[in-house]
Structure 1
Amino acid sequence: MRLPHAEPGNRIGLFGGSFNPPHSGHRTVAETALKRCDLDQVWWLVTPGNPLKEHGGLAPLEERVDAVRKLARHPRMKVTAFEALIGTTYSARLVARLLEIRPRLRFAWIMGADNLMTFHRWQSWRSILENVPLIVVDRPDASFAPLKSVAANAYAPYRWDESRATTLAGIAPPAWTFLHTRLDDTSSTALRAQRCGHATVVRQ
C-alpha cells in the first residue's frame, strides 16, 4: 500500500481503477500516456472499489493488485493500493492527499476515453481538473462521444492538442489532452463474463 519512490520534480501519471481484472487495454492506456506525455513513472492505483459500480463481482483487492503487477511489468510502472491505506474510494480525495504529502512531484491523472463520458458524475470531479492535468487516451467506441461530454465541454478552453502532450504534465492546471492511439477492444466486463460462462460449464 505504500507509495512508490520518486525524485523531486518527477512527472507522475496517476492511473486509477478497480482493474477487475486488468487487461491489455489498460496496459495500452498506461503505455500511451507514459510515452506520449514524457512521464517519469505511471502509478497504477488499484482502488478498493469504484463508487459508481456494483461490487458484487469485485475480486479481492490483493488479487487485483497481484494481477496488475503481472501485467504492468515495466521499470517505470509502479503498482499501489494507497487508496485503501487512506480509507477512500474517491479520486478527488486521493489527488488532494497526494498533493499534500508529495508536493514536489508533478502529477497528472490518466483515464481511458470511455471514462470521460461519465467523469462529471465523479465526486468533486472539477477539483481533479483544477489540481492536476488530465490525460485521456482513446478507447474503442469512445473516440468522438467523450469529446462532447459534460467535462469536455466545460473545460474545452483548456484542451491541449496532442502534439503538445509532452509538456502537459509540467504545466499548471487546468489542462487536458486527448491522445489517439492503437485501439484494444479488450474489456474487464467481457473478461468477467467469459469467466462466469466458463464457471457455469464446469459446474454442469
Structure 2
Amino acid sequence: MRYDIPSARAGAKIGLLGGSFDPPHAGHVHISRAALKRFGLDEVWWLVSPGNPLKSTGPAPISRRMAAANAMITHPRIKVTDFEAQAGTRYTAATLKVLFAEYPKVNFTWLMGADNLAEFHLWGQWDWIMKNVRVGVLARPRDRLRALCSPTARRFRTARLPESERMLLAKAQPPAWCYVNLPMVDISSTQLRANGGWKR
C-alpha cells in the first residue's frame, strides 16, 4: 500500500465522511455513530481534506485539524485520515478513484448531510460519483424538502432505497442512495469559527 491509511479487510463496509473539519465538532461524531448503526457499517473514516474547492478561503493547517479530529474520537470504529493530502486529491471523484484502486474489494459508502445533497450537482463529476459509490444521507427532518427536490435526487430517483431498506445500502450495487432522518446536533464548523471557538 502506497499510503499511510487505515487497513480494511476484503468485503468490509466502510463509510466515508469527507470535509475540511475546520473545526471538527460533536455533529461529525453524531453523524458517524448514526451511520455505523443505521447503515450497518463496519467503520467510518473521516477524510480530512487539504481544502474545500467550493470555498474561497483556506482552512486551518491540516496538522491542526487532524490533531483536533483525533482528539474527539472515542469510538473504536471511527478513524481519521489525511488520505487526500497524501494522494494529492482535492475533489471527491479523484479521491474515490484512488481509494477504489487501493481497496478494490472494500464496499465504500459516501456519507453526507442534506445540505450536501441539495448542492451535490455543483460538485465535480457528481454524476460519476453517484454512479460509482453508494451514498448515505443523514439529515434533520426539516432539511428534507430542499434535498429531495434537488437535481441529484431527481436525476437518481430510481436509485433511492427506502429508509426501511437502509441496511442493504452498504452492499448495494451503485447507483444506490438512501436518505435517513435523524435528530441532529445543531452545530456547525461555521458557527464555531464565527463564535471564536476556533482560530485559524
> 4+ runs of 1 displaced by more than 3 Å?
none
Asked if 1 retains the 8 angstrom alpha-carbon contact of 2:141 and 2:181, the reply is no
Counterpart CA distance in 1 for 2:168 and 2:60 is 37
Calculate percent identity across the aligned residue pairs: 45
Secondary structure of 1:44's aligned partner: strand
| CA displacement at 1:141 relative to structure 2 | 4.6
Alignment of 1:53-202 (within 5 A): 53-56=55-58, 58-139=59-140, 141-195=142-196
Secondary structure of 2:196's aligned partner: helix
TM-score by length of 2: 0.94
Could you list the per-position Cα deviations for residues 112-159 of structure 1 after superposition, in whole angstroms to 9, with x for gaps in the alignment?
Answer: 111111111110011111111100000475222111011111101111
Distance 1:7 1:174, change over 3 A: same
Alignment of 1:16-31 (within 5 A): 16-31=18-33
Specify every segment of 5 or more residues in structure 1 that has no aligned partner in the other structure, as ranges: 200-204
- One-letter amino acid of the structure 2 residue matched with residue 114 of structure 1: D
Distance 1:140 1:47, change over 3 A: farther
Q: What count of residue pairs does the alignment treat as equivalent?
A: 197
Could you list the per-position Cα deviations for residues 29-62 of structure 1 after superposition, in whole angstroms to 9, with x for gaps in the alignment?
Answer: 1111111100001010000000001224x11101
Asked if 1 retains the 8 angstrom alpha-carbon contact of 2:130 and 2:176, the reply is yes
Specify every segment of 5 or more residues in structure 2 that has no aligned partner in the other structure, as ranges: none
TM-score by length of 1: 0.92
Alignment of 1:8-19 (within 5 A): 8-19=10-21
Counterpart CA distance in 1 for 2:131 and 2:74 is 31
Secondary structure of 1:144's aligned partner: helix
